Amino acid sequence: MKRIALFLGLAALGFGQVELSTDPSLHVLPVQGNIYMLVGAGGNIAMSVGNDGILLVDSGKAEMADRVLKVSLDLATRVVGTPMPNSCLGLRCPAAPYGWSSPSLNARISSPARPKPIRYIINTSIDADHAGGNARLAELPKDSKILGVTFPPVGVAPSANVISHENVLNRMSANKPGSKDQTMVDSSQWPTDTFHVAKYKLSEFFNGEGVQIMYQPDAHTDGDSMVYFRYSDVIVAGDILNPTSYPVIDLEKGGSYQGILAGLNAILDLSIAEFRSQGGTMIIPGHGRLMDSGDVANYRNMVQIIGDRVQDLLSKGRTLAQIKAAKPTLDYDGIYGSPDAFIEAIVKSFQKK
Ligand SMILES: [Zn+2]
């Protein structure tokens, strides 16, 4: 019997993994605990799914929001509605007083669980590929039907709370240059709840765990937050960590090299490997693949090493053009691509200090 189960398990792995996404261009990866990673809507989106509903870290691009909404609700319905495994049904099951009925059987024969609404969205930065879906995803349109259920369900607030550092709201609500009444970003996209302290947290458990939000000053921008799910042990880093390229430092929005480096070190401070720097705490970057602390350490080392080289060249009085010509990133260019913007950002960050 065990052999058959093993064979079936292997077959499932090899020939047809359970597809968690109902959209061909959005991919859902179960990370660990309650946390799923949704890829393909702009920046990576992290989802906490459970009995309290859905919490999203970031909302993707505006034009993807409808599809993100559908995939999130589909997933929540499936995860919450899945019965607990029970290999024995019936009168003779040991220690099961349920006779021919059991919680497992009831779950199988009852109607599917209703979709859980999105309750919170946390923005890791102001970027349009991370916060662009705020308006659509936060608003649960009144009396609309999603998956056959009328929204919002009884007793649930009609919209989600959108949380970010206050600098995100300040930049979104600032007037467009040369305009008196037009703001940089439409008010429907603005966060509803902001914080100004270094560490913020949801005041009670969500889906069975504490959720901490950590502000990282002047890193990718001046409004970057990282989110830590304490029981699932998953960190959502936003664009402080972007392994698809050299760090993207938005100097105009208050980013700096020193802030990126401090942010990467903060991730490492919080992460614990399962064994020899592998596994354990999982880290979802702003873009690119899922990482563990060993991956983040490699990336952090690259950022530190290149920063040291550039600082050394600066201390010898070299100009930006000379520093670029010295190719301080040569051994990494094959992995991370063009270094020009990164070198410029490092030089400007050191000159500011
Ligand atoms: Zn991004």
pTM (2 decimals)?
0.85
Rounded distance from Cα 239 to ligand 1 centre (Å): 5
Rounded distance from Cα 125 to ligand 1 centre (Å): 8
Rounded distance from Cα 122 to ligand 1 centre (Å): 14
pLDDT digits (tens, 9 = 90+) for 43-69: 999 999 998 889 999 999 999 999 999
Q: Which residue has the higher pLDDT, 97 or 25?
A: 25
Rounded distance from Cα 5 to ligand 1 centre (Å): 42
Rounded distance from Cα 146 to ligand 1 centre (Å): 29
Spatial contact of 86 and 104, defined as CB atoms under 8 Å apart:
yes
Give the type of residue at 302.
M
Rounded distance from Cα 285 to ligand 1 centre (Å): 9
pLDDT digits (tens, 9 = 90+) for 220-269: 999 999 999 999 999 999 999 999 999 999 999 999 999 999 999 999 99
- Cα–Cα distance for residue pair 320/230, rounded to 1 Å: 43
Rounded distance from Cα 238 to ligand 1 centre (Å): 7
Average pLDDT over residues 114-134: 92
Average pLDDT over residues 313-321: 96
Residue 308 CB contacts under 8 Å (≥ 6 apart), including other chains: none
Rounded distance from Cα 338 to ligand 1 centre (Å): 17
**Hey, what are 301's tokens?**
């080392």
Average pLDDT over residues 264-275: 96
Buried b (16+ CB within 10 A) or exposed e, 108-134: eeeeebbbbbbbbbbbbbbbebbbbbb
- Cα–Cα distance for residue pair 103/122, rounded to 1 Å: 35
Rounded distance from Cα 107 to ligand 1 centre (Å): 40
Query: Does domain 15-84+96-239 bear CATH number 3.60.15?
Result: yes
Per DSSP, 115 falls in state P
pLDDT class of 142 with cuts at 50, 70, 90? low
Per DSSP, 206 falls in state B
Rounded distance from Cα 154 to ligand 1 centre (Å): 36
Give the type of residue at 201.
K
Rounded distance from Cα 34 to ligand 1 centre (Å): 23
